[in-house]
Amino acid sequence: MRLTSSQNSLIQHVLDAIDQLLAEVETPTEPASRFDLEEVWYRVRPEQMAALSSLAAAGALMRVTHLLLSRPVSPSPEKRLQEWNDLSELTKEAGRSAYRAALILADPECAVPSGC
């Protein structure tokens, strides 16, 4: 399927909006490693961590959608393999981010103040 310029613009607008939201939402800045940052933030601000993870998943899925809908009809075997690998990586990124949000939201201790 070939995207019209209007459809392409809409997808790009959504991607830009997600990227802007990710940039504007407060992110952790303290501990040395990313894992430490996520662990600290999970305990201190689980809602915000879940929101960031959900936004990251949405952005990755929109990129998957964009790639799928704008693929050439007959790409070369090398191009097809590269696109397929890109789609696989983006889909895994989306899944991991969505799973992270689900884990946070499934933790009943996070539902109460100072519970995590």
pTM over 0.85: no
pLDDT confidence bin for 86, thresholds 50/70/90: very high
The burial of 101, by beta-carbon neighbours within 10 Å (0-12 exposed, 13-18 middle, 19 or more buried), is given as buried
Burial 69-79 (b: 16+ CB within 10 A, else e): eebeeeeeeee
Q: Whats the size of the chain, residue-wise?
A: 116
For residue range 3-59, what is the model confidence (pLDDT) as tens digits?
889 999 999 999 999 999 988 876 655 544 555 556 665 666 788 888 889 999 999
What value does the mean pLDDT take over residues 109-115? 64
The alpha-helical segments, DSSP class H, found in 1-116 are: 5-24, 34-44, 46-69, 77-106
Name residue 92's amino acid.
K
- In this predicted structure, what is the pLDDT of residue 13? 96
- In this predicted structure, what is the pLDDT of residue 47? 84
